[in-house]
Amino acid sequence: MTHESPVILFVDDEKSVLDGLRRCLWEQQDDWQMAFAIGADQALTWMQTRQPDVVVTDMRMPGMNGDELLRRVQALYPATARLILSGHFDQEAEIRTSGLAHAYLLKPCPTETLIAAIRRVLGG
């Protein structure tokens, strides 16, 4: 029996942030399949062909912001865990997303904290 690695989709409007995540998490590549999308539209397009186990998104992005993306993910893929990784703590946004996100992490987020949050929502 083969066990497929969980799929984690990271979404941010800044390529440099995604590149940083890719570098920080490279040791997880044996445990997770990781994908990186620049912005919500690219993420939703990617999800049309593959359902991620976890979506980790920024909140403040041009066009569709993180909470709207999470609302769509929740509606289309209710089994997908949803995490926020944001550089801005906004109590109003946290309240808006309290039913949408399984965790709200602040940038800069220690790699170990991000890994632990993802493992937690994956049930491990």
Write out pLDDT tens, residues 5-14.
999 999 999 9
Architecture of the structural domain at 7-122: 3-Layer(aba) Sandwich (3.40)
- Higher pLDDT: 46 or 93? It is 46
Q: Residue 44 above 90 pLDDT? A: yes
- Our measurement of the distance from residue 78's CA atom to the centroid of its chain's CA atoms, rounded to an integer in Å, reads 14
Query: 84 falls in which pLDDT band (50, 70, 90)?
Result: very high
Q: CA-to-CA distance for 72 and 70, rounded, in angstroms? A: 5
Q: How many Cα neighbours within 13 Å face the side chain of 39?
A: 7
Mean pLDDT, to the nearest integer, of 73-95? 85
Query: 2 falls in which pLDDT band (50, 70, 90)?
Result: very low
Q: Which residue type, as a one-letter code, is found at position 39?
A: G
Residue of 66, 62, 106, 65 whose CA lies nearest to 82: 66
E strands in 13-124: 33-38, 54-57, 81-86, 103-106
Determine contact, residues 111/24, Cβ cutoff 8 Å: yes
- Which residues are CB-neighbours of 86 under 8 A, at least 6 positions away? 58, 59, 60, 66, 93, 104, 105, 106, 107
Quick one: pLDDT at residue 99?
A: 80
Peptide bond between residue 108 and the one before it cis (omega within 30 degrees of 0): yes
